[in-house]
Structure 1
Amino acid sequence: MAWSQKLPSGRYRGAYRLPSGEVRYTRGGTFTSKRAAKDAATELEVKVKRPGWRDPRASEITWGDWLEMWSPGRQIEPSTVENEAGMIEQHLLPQWRDAPLAGITRHDVQTWATRMVKENLGTEEEPRYRKSSSVRRYLNVFVSSMTAAIDAELIDTNPATRIKLPPDAAGDPVFLTREQYAALSAAVPNSQDRALLDFLVGTGLRWGEAAGLHLHRLDLTRGVVTVADVTDGREIKPYPKGRRQRHVPLLQWSVDYLEVPAARDCGVQHRAGRCPSGLVFPAARGGIRDDRNFYRRVMQPALKAAGLDHMGATLHDLRHTYASWLAQDGVPLGRIAELLGHRSITTTEIYAHFATATAADIAFAMRDPREANVKQKPAVSGIIPLRRATQE
C-alpha cells in the first residue's frame, strides 16, 4: 500500500513498493497535501503491479554493470571461470562495457562478431585471423549473460542468438593404422611413457581421464577400467565429460608395459571427498602429468623417428584411432559411443566410414531366402580377456 512522507520543507512526497519490495518515491515535484502525495503514489503502485510492467531504470543498466551483478551467482566450474575471464576482459568488455542492455540489438552483435572474424591479427604480408570457433566461444559467454538478463526481467529478448559466422576450415582427425602405431610405440625408449601411449590408444580415454585415473579404478583381474575421475591439471573432479561414469575393457597389450605404482594418496586436490589411492600415471616427481610436456618430450620425437611427423597426429588422435579400429572390426557405433562416453551417437558418426561392408557381410546378408535352414552368423565380441599385468 502506498503512503506519504513529510519533507523538511513541510511539503509531501508519495512512496510505494515495486513487486520486488524496493521502495520508490514519486517524481516530478512534491505535494502540498498528504492526500495528494499518497494518491500519486497509489497510481504509480497500480501501474507497476500490472502484468508486463518493466522498471524504466532497467534500460540504464549497462552490460558492464550487469556483468558485476551476474558473475557472482553463476554455477560453473572454476576452470571455466578462469578460461572465460580472459575472453571477457579482452573481447567482451572493450565492446559492451558501456552499452545499455536495452539498447543492444542483434545487428550490433552480428557486426561485432563479423568484425572479430575478419580482423587481421598479423601483417599485410602474413595475415592471421581468428577462427570462427574462437569467436563463437566469446559469443557463447555473451549469450549466457543476456539470457540471465532476460531471467532478471531487464530485457525481453536475447539479441546475441542466431548470430551467423563462417565455418572454420575442417581440421581432419588423424587415424593411425595398427602398423603406424606399432612403429610409433617402438620409437618410445622409456617403458612408462610407452605404457601411457598404449593405454590411451587401447582404451580411448581422453588425456584428462588418463592423467586423473586412480589405482582403485583399475581392475586388472577383471580387465576393466572405470572412467570416473578426471583432471584439468589443477584438481581431480569426480566425473568425466558428460558427468557419467563408464567401464572400458582392458586388453593385454594395452597394459604390458604398465608398472603399477605403490598405492598412496595422489597428492592432488580433489573437488569432493578424500583421495582413496594414487594415480596410475603420475608425473616423475609426483602429481599430474602435463599433456603439452608429454607431447613435446615423448610423442613428437617418436612420430619423427617413426617417419610419421608429416601426419600431424596429436594425443587426442589416439582416441580417434581407438574408435577407428573398433569400427573397422565391426563393433557397432552405439557400443563405440558408449565406450568413448559420447552422450549422442551423432558425435560417433565420424567413424562410420570405417565400418564398410565386406563381400562376406553382403553374401551373408543376401543369402538365398529359399533355403529352409539358414545358419545364423555367430556373434563376435572382439574383447580378449586380460591374461596378466606387470605389477610391483
Structure 2
Amino acid sequence: MAWTRRLSSGKFQGLYRDAYGKERSAGTFPRERQALSKAASAEEDARINPRSPEARTITWAQWEPRWLARRSVAPQSLKADMSKIEHHVRPKWGDVPLADITQGDIQEWVNELRRSGGVRTTSRYEAGRPLSASTVTKCYRLLSSSMRAAVTAKVLDKSPCFDVKISKDGVSPERYLTDDEQDAICAELDGQDLVLVRLAFGTGLRLGEIIGLHWESIDLDGKTLHVRHAYDPEDRSMKAPKSYAMRAVPIPDEVVMLLEQLRVDSAPALQCPIVHNGSTKCRTGLVFTQADGKPIDGHNFRHRRWERGCRRAAVRDSQGRDIPVGHARVHDTRHTYASTLIRAGIHLAQVCTLMGHSSIVVTMRYSHLGNSQWGAVAEALNRRTAVRTANPVLRVVKHG
C-alpha cells in the first residue's frame, strides 16, 4: 500500500514498495493527496510490470554498454560524450547500483562538479578544476539519458534525474580594448601569432573560424575573406560556422599586408589535413598552422600566447605611467570589433551580418555603444530649437 512522508520543506514524498519489497519513491509533491496518488500509480505499475531481478544489483558501469548500444549519435558527438563519461560520469557512478542512485546524490554530484570539477583516477574520484555550467549540464544529461533508458528497459521504475538544479556561470564582463591596448598586446607578439590577433581585431571572427581559415577563402586583392569553416577541437574536424553563418568580411589594409607577408614566409600547404563535416570541401591548406600543417591548438594559443601577451602589455598614460592591459579574453577581440563598428555609426543590421550572428537580437547587446552618437543627435535637436526660437509661430486664440 502506498503512503506519504512529510518533508522538512513542507512538501510530501510519495512512497511505495516494488515487487521485491524494496521501498521506492514516486517523487516529491506540494500536496499530500497528489503524492499519494502518484505513489499508488507507481506501485500498481511496478506490480504489473515488475523490474527484472538484475535491477537490484546491476551497476551503472554494467548498464553503460547496453545504454550506449541504444543511442544514435553522430561520431563527433559520441567522441565528446565519451570524454565526459570517462572523466566525470563513470568515475562517480560506475560502481553504484542503478537502484541506489538518488536525486539527492545527483544534486550533490553536480554541485561538486561546479565547485571543483572531477578527474579520473585508477582508484577513486578526486576533485579537479571547476567545470562550467554548460559542461556540467552535458554530464548531467548523459547520466539522465542512461537512467531514462533503464526505465524504458524496465530495469528501473523511475529515473532519479528530476528537480536537479545546476548553478549558472557568472556573467563575464565584456571588454572593449582601446586602440592603444590593441597595439600594446600586438607588440608582445610576433610571427603568425601577431597576424592572428590583428586579424581577430580587424574582422571579428571567432577563434574557431580563424583556426579553420583556408587560403582559398582569402581574396587579398579584393581585401575580403569568406567564412566557410570553423575548426572543432573536440573531434578535430572542420564544420560549418556557428549558426551556419557563412559570410564575407572586409579585411583592413594593415591585415592584408600581414597576410601577404605570412603567405610568403610560411609556404602554405597545398592541402588541408583535416576531415570536413557539414562544411564545404577545401582546395588549399590552412592559414594558421603548426609545423606539420595541422591546425594550431586553440587552448595553447589562449594560454601561452594571448594571455602572456596581455600580462606583459602596458599602455603609457598622460603622466608617463605604464598601465598594464591586464586580463582580456580572446573573445574580447570580437566585442572590440563590434564596438568599433557601432561607434563608427555602422547600422546594427550590417554589424549582425559581419559578425555572423543568428539574429539581430544577438547584436542588440552592443546597441548601448551607439550612445556615443548622442552628441550629434542633441546637436541636431538644438539646431531645430534655435530655428523655432528665432522664428516664433504666433497662435491667435479667439475668445467667445
The bucket for the TM-score relative to the shorter chain is 0.5 to 0.7
CA distance in 2, matches of 1:297, 1:115: 29
SS at 2:225 equivalent: strand
Using the size of structure 2 for normalisation, the TM-score is: 0.63
Q: SS of the counterpart of 1:181?
A: helix
Match of 1:114 among 103, 111, 114: 111
Contact persistence 1:131–1:168 (CA under 8 A): no
Q: 1:57 aligns with which of 16, 32, 52?
A: 52
Distance 1:118 1:197 in 2: 33
Q: Which runs of 5+ in 2 are unaligned?
A: 1-44, 119-126, 316-323, 388-400
In structure 2, the partner of 1:14 is none
Write the distance in 1 (CA, Å) between the matches of 2:244 and 2:271. Answer: 24
- Matched residue, 1:76: 74
The CA deviation at 1:277 is: 0.9
- Map 1:1-392 → 2, pairs under 5 A: 56-57=51-52, 60=55, 63-72=60-69, 73-78=71-76, 80-97=77-94, 106-117=103-114, 130-131=130-131, 133=133, 134-146=135-147, 159-190=160-191, 192-233=192-233, 235-259=236-260, 260=263, 261-262=267-268, 264-271=270-277, 275-295=282-302, 298-307=305-314, 310-356=325-371, 357-364=373-380
When the two chains are superposed, the root-mean-square deviation of aligned CA atoms in Å is: 4.1
Give, in angstroms, the shift of residue 77 of structure 1. 4.8
Hey, what's the Cα distance between the residues in 2 that align with 1:58 and 1:332? 66
Distance 1:223 1:160, change over 3 A: farther
Query: Which one has more relative contact order, counting CA pairs under 8 Å at least 6 apart?
Result: 1
Partner Cα distance (1:293, 1:186) in 2: 19
Distance in 1 (CA, whole Å) between partners of 2:381 and 2:75 is 49
TM-score w.r.t. the length of structure 1 is: 0.64
Q: Could you tell me which amino acid in structure 1 is paired with residue 297 of structure 2?
A: D
Q: Deviations over 1:319-374 (max 9, x none)?
A: 222122223223344443433333345544443332225121355579859x9xxx
Between 1:359-368 and 1:147-156, the stretch displaced more is: 147-156
Number of equivalenced pairs: 314
SS in 1 for 2:249: strand
8 Å Cα contact 1:264-1:278 kept in structure 2: yes
How far does the alpha carbon of each residue in 1:6-34 deviate from its partner, in whole angstroms, 9 at most, with x for none? xxxxxxxxxxxxxxxxxxxxxxxxxxxxx
- Cα separation, 2, equivalents of 1:154 and 1:63: 11
Q: Identity over the aligned pairs, expressed in percent?
A: 31
Note the C-alpha offset of 1:146. Answer: 4.5
Partner SS for 1:237: strand
| Partners of 1:213 and 1:230 within 8 A in 2 | yes
Equivalent-residue separation in structure 2 for 1:117 and 1:238 (angstroms): 29
Q: Judge conservation of contact 2:217–2:226 (CA < 8 Å) in 1.
A: yes
* 1:190-249 alpha-carbon deviations (Å, 9 max, x no partner): 3x4322211111111122211221122222344332212222357442412234422222
- Change beyond 3 A, Cα 1:161–1:247: farther
Alpha carbons of 1:108 and 1:227: their partners in 2 closer, same or farther (altered >3 Å)? same
> Kindly tell me: are residues 74 and 328 of structure 1, through their superposed partners in 2, closer, same or farther at Cα, counting changes over 3 Å?
farther
Q: Give the 3 Å change call, closer, same or farther, for CA 184–361 of structure 1 in structure 2.
A: same
Q: Which ranges in structure 1 are unaligned for 5 or more consecutive residues? A: 1-49, 122-126, 372-392
Q: Secondary structure at the match of 1:176?
A: coil
Distance 1:111 1:202 in 2: 45
Q: Is the 8 A contact 2:290 2:296 kept in 1?
A: yes
Distance 1:180 1:276, change over 3 A: same
Question: Higher helix fraction: Structure 1 or Structure 2?
Answer: 2
C-alpha distance in structure 2 between counterparts of 1:193 and 1:76, whole Å:
33
Distance 2:99 2:382 in 1: 64
Q: Secondary structure of the residue that 1:248 maps to in structure 2?
A: strand
The question of whether the paired residues in 2 share the 8 Å contact of 1:64 and 1:93 is answered with: yes
